[in-house]
Structure 1
Amino acid sequence: VTFLCLPPVSFLLLPHALALWACTRSCPSRCTCTQEKSCSVLCDRINMADLPKEFPCEASSINLDKNNLKFLSERAFGTLPSLKSLSLDHNNISFITPGAFKGLPNLVELKMAHNEYIRYLHTRTFTSLKRLVRLDLSDCNLFSMPDRIFIEQTALKELLCFQNNFRRVPGAIRGMENLTHVYLERNRIEAVAYNSLLGLTSLKYLNLQENRINVIHDEAFKDLQQLENFYLNDNLLAELPKQAFKGLSRLKMLNLGGNLLTNVSKTWFSDLVELEVLYLDRNQLCFIEEGAFENLTSLITLHLNSNNLTALPFSVFQPIYFIGRLYLFRNPWECDCSLEWLKEWMENYKLVRDIPCASPSSVAGLDLSEVVYARLNGTCVDPAELNLTTALPDNPTTENKFNILISKLLQQELKEDLVNSTESFRNGTLLDPAESQVSGGYNGFSTGRALLVLLSMYLIQAETGPH
């Protein structure tokens, strides 16, 4: 190219002008070609049914999104040695000829998401793309991929295949030691076999959420020693291998929410010393084994909401001194004395709230923070089956104890009498046992009053001591 072929420009602008002219001289009809840092070809949203015959040789990126492309022939794009990014999202591609991407030796990113008619890929579909780093095949209609389809893509780091129809983890990814991110969510995967993820020694992100996984084999994750973010939520897992996450010492986030788990084993998380966020929400948990969380020394957030938990013993939770946020709502909590420690923890650290009580009935509907635990001789007393949550005095005398017990028993008796529809009052005064016997027989002397007499004797004896 001589200077006479170019528009008059200053010498300092010549390199940019040369690049701009080179980028635009063979720009496809109806497309836009721009030169900023590099030559970009924009052919998106123009209802294109066939690929242009020619692209600028200098093109570094081509956008063909949201067109009506249906077929990619061999060497569909010619020879484009500078092309780094190619996007074919939202087309109607149904067949890709083996070798369609030949002539693109430096392609780094290939996007073909949202092509619902792609059901099959040939083993040689990606032949010659030896420098490919990122491949997006999401939301197509793929049922499987040939095991050797990525034989030349040794540099591949990110593989996006979410929202397809895979029933197993594609064997094609096995042994790909440079993969760092794999997206397989919203497929139909039913199991993770012992060899499904072999050789993925650099993997940092794995998403298997919203599949149908109900089985995970022993040591299925043993090679994922660099894994940091792991999504297994919204599957059908009712149980896990004892050493399910053994060796995942770099894991920072684990999501097991939305499964069918009924218990938490103390062996599951023993190696997760760097775990910061753990989701166990939306399961059917009713039991957490003591020691289940004791090695989670980096844990910041724990989600236990929306389960069937009624109790959370202090012995289970004791090692978690460092947690920043604890989610416990939507569980049928039994707010008896076993949860008194949790109420104190709530008040002292302000790291948890919304713990609605389901039982006992006297506190049902209250938040744990509103429950007042009574103490008798220094021992916590469970909330009675009455709507009473007022604590005893700090140093209750025998008279105080006696009066409180009388009050509770009389209220209980009144409650029973009303339920049984028996006449309990005469002129506004409660009948005494003698009158009740005269007017109503033995039934008038209620269990409550009998207990009242016994308790009176017990408290007097406790106050005066044995004679």
Structure 2
Amino acid sequence: MIVFTFTVSVLSLLPQAVPARWACVRACPPSCSCTQERSCSVLCDRAGLAELPKEFPCEASAINLDKNRIKFLSERAFGTLPSLKSLSLDHNNISFITPGAFKGLSNLLELKMANNEYISYLHTRTFTGLKKLVRLDLSGCNLFSIPDRIFIEQTALKELLCFQNNFRRVPGAIRGMENLTHIYLERNKIEAVAYNSLLGLGSLRYLNLQENRINVVHDQAFQDLVRLENFYLNDNLLSDLPRLAFKGLIRLRMLNLGGNQLTNISKTWFSDLVELEVLYLDRNQLLYIEEGTFENLTSLITLHLNSNNLTTLPFPIFQPIYFLGRLYLFKNPWLCDCSLEWLKEWMENYKLVRDIPCASPSSVAGLDLSEVAFAKANGTCVDPAELNLTTASSEIASTTENRFNSLISKLLQQELREEMGNGTESRRNGTLVEPEEGQLSAGVGGQQTRASQSALCITVVWLMLFLIGQSCLHCT
């Protein structure tokens, strides 16, 4: 009797979690392992299972069945597991899910079925009974569409991951889901965002539509996304946007429009984005940015304009965000004339932008803007092209003058030698002949000298005309 009383007393001192731990381990399915720390976790991943275990510990709060060969989920496939919060079925061969397969999981918060490439169809009642579901992952499947009323019971759903499927349009099932905060629809085949595609998503903070085939966005398509903070529209086929495309997105902090086919930016697009901090416009075909485009972006920190067809960035376009933290301008065919002098000064003063390679004018092509010298004439900036043209003209004129002087000098030296030769010959003749003959000889020599001088004049005039013509050809 004493021994029995002592045993009961010892058992009463044991933690209450011990019976639960024993129950979790005792009911663990074959080929799985079960652990009990704060709650019961069932680990059946990489177990080579072709079908689900017949039963799980009723205390299970998390079940991992990743990377098996499961093909089919029958009705109430998991029985009744009131404590289950997380269920993962990633990387299986599931091809069909019976309506009501998840009944009995009334407290499930997270369901993961990513990378089941044979899932191409979901029934309207697939998720019946999951009224508390918060996160659903259907990414990497083969879904072409989902029924519009499939989430009618999932009013608590906050995160929906459907990236890397085959959707041709934004699923209508998400409309009106006022608790959704994150939607992942990247790497699908969506072609348009209609005016009603995103209605009623007043709590949405994150929307990813990148790497689709979107070429049309209807006017006011994003009007209900008043709490949106991060928006990815990059790597689509957009060549234009409605005038008020992003109207009402007053909380947007990051907008990615990179990798599209935009050729110009309208000043009306970003007029409401007063909290925008990061803007991607890179990898487009931008030729023109309308003045006033950035005037309301008073919170902007980083602007990506690289990899476009921009040749100039006039100061009035850029002035309102002169305090920008990071500006990316590389891979554009910049015309480094006086319109970019302000940018060079900004580069030197703030050290926040670099790599602005000049494509023209030819005198500075290949240089970075930081290496271009802008001269001043009467306090006005002189373009590098004009500066080099003036220098080149001066050099041509100087060269022409030098060549002319050299030729004249040679001709005069030749004439002087000839005159000296004639004088010596005359004196030699004067000692050998009679004075009359000597006078005649001198007269003949004088006539030859005058003829030579006339020829020299004609030659000089001809050379002047020739060199002037050459100079004019260089100038033009």
Give the TM interval when normalised to the shorter protein.
0.7 to 0.9
Matched, 1:323 2:324: yes
Deviation of 1:377 after TM superposition, in Å, equals 0.6
The residue number in structure 2 matching 1:146 is 147
Q: Structure 2 CA distance, aligned partners of 1:437 and 1:328?
A: 56
The residue number in structure 2 matching 1:306 is 307
CA contact (8 A) 2:51 2:70 kept: yes
CA contact (8 A) 1:325 1:351 kept: yes
The residue number in structure 1 matching 2:259 is 258
Matched, 1:120 2:144: no
Normalized against structure 2, the TM-score is what?
0.84
1:144-293 to structure 2, matched below 5 A, reads: 144-293=145-294
* Identical-residue share of aligned pairs (%): 76
Distance 1:436-1:333 versus aligned 2 partners, 3 A rule: farther
CA contact (8 A) 2:404 2:467 kept: no
The residue number in structure 2 matching 1:445 is 469
CA contact (8 A) 2:48 2:69 kept: yes
CA radius of gyration, larger in: 2
Q: Structure 2 CA distance, aligned partners of 1:342 and 1:329?
A: 13
AA aligned to 1:124 is: R
Normalized against structure 1, the TM-score is what?
0.85
Deviation of 1:53 after TM superposition, in Å, equals 0.2
Deviation of 1:446 after TM superposition, in Å, equals 3.4
Q: Deviations over 1:185-204 (max 9, x none)?
A: 00000000000000000000
CA contact (8 A) 1:413 1:446 kept: no
Deviation of 1:96 after TM superposition, in Å, equals 0.4
Structure 1 residue runs of 5 or longer lacking an equivalent are: 389-403, 418-423, 453-467
Q: Structure 2 CA distance, aligned partners of 1:13 and 1:234?
A: 60
Q: Structure 1 CA distance, aligned partners of 2:192 and 2:115?
A: 25
Task: Tell me the number of residue pairs that the alignment of Structure 1 and Structure 2 aligns.
Answer: 424
Deviation of 1:351 after TM superposition, in Å, equals 1.0
The residue number in structure 1 matching 2:430 is none
The residue number in structure 1 matching 2:378 is 377
Q: CA RMSD in A?
A: 2.8
AA aligned to 2:249 is: L
Distance 1:450-1:179 versus aligned 2 partners, 3 A rule: closer
Q: Deviations over 1:95-149 (max 9, x none)?
A: 0000000000000000000000000000000000000000000000000000000
AA aligned to 2:145 is: S
The residue number in structure 2 matching 1:68 is 69
Structure with the higher fraction of residues in helix conformation: 2
Q: Deviations over 1:369-412 (max 9, x none)?
A: 010001111110000278x5xxxxxxxxxxxxxxx94x431446
Distance 1:446-1:151 versus aligned 2 partners, 3 A rule: same
CA contact (8 A) 2:404 2:463 kept: no
The residue number in structure 1 matching 2:26 is 25
1:404-419 to structure 2, matched below 5 A, reads: 405=390, 407-411=391-395
Structure 2 residue runs of 5 or longer lacking an equivalent are: 410-457
Q: Structure 1 CA distance, aligned partners of 2:20 and 2:117?
A: 37
CA contact (8 A) 2:396 2:474 kept: no
CA contact (8 A) 1:437 1:445 kept: no
Deviation of 1:22 after TM superposition, in Å, equals 1.4
Distance 1:436-1:261 versus aligned 2 partners, 3 A rule: farther
Local SS of the residue matching 1:326 = strand
Q: Deviations over 1:292-326 (max 9, x none)?
A: 00000100000000000000000000000331100
Q: Structure 2 CA distance, aligned partners of 1:175 and 1:46?
A: 40
AA aligned to 1:144 is: S
Deviation of 1:14 after TM superposition, in Å, equals 2.9
Q: Structure 2 CA distance, aligned partners of 1:290 and 1:264?
A: 9
Local SS of the residue matching 1:445 = helix
Deviation of 1:211 after TM superposition, in Å, equals 0.1
Q: Structure 1 CA distance, aligned partners of 2:264 and 2:183?
A: 29
Q: Deviations over 1:259-288 (max 9, x none)?
A: 000001000000000000000000000100
AA aligned to 2:469 is: F
Deviation of 1:12 after TM superposition, in Å, equals 4.4
Local SS of the residue matching 2:91 = coil
Deviates more, 1:86-95 or 1:439-448: 439-448
Local SS of the residue matching 1:254 = strand
CA contact (8 A) 1:412 1:448 kept: no
CA contact (8 A) 1:361 1:385 kept: no
Local SS of the residue matching 1:267 = coil
CA contact (8 A) 1:436 1:445 kept: no
Deviation of 1:18 after TM superposition, in Å, equals 1.2
AA aligned to 2:259 is: G
AA aligned to 2:183 is: V
Local SS of the residue matching 1:230 = strand
CA contact (8 A) 1:437 1:443 kept: no
Q: Structure 2 CA distance, aligned partners of 1:118 and 1:227?
A: 30
Local SS of the residue matching 2:133 = coil
Q: Structure 2 CA distance, aligned partners of 1:215 and 1:185?
A: 16
Q: Structure 1 CA distance, aligned partners of 2:143 and 2:460?
A: 82
Q: Structure 2 CA distance, aligned partners of 1:23 and 1:222?
A: 50
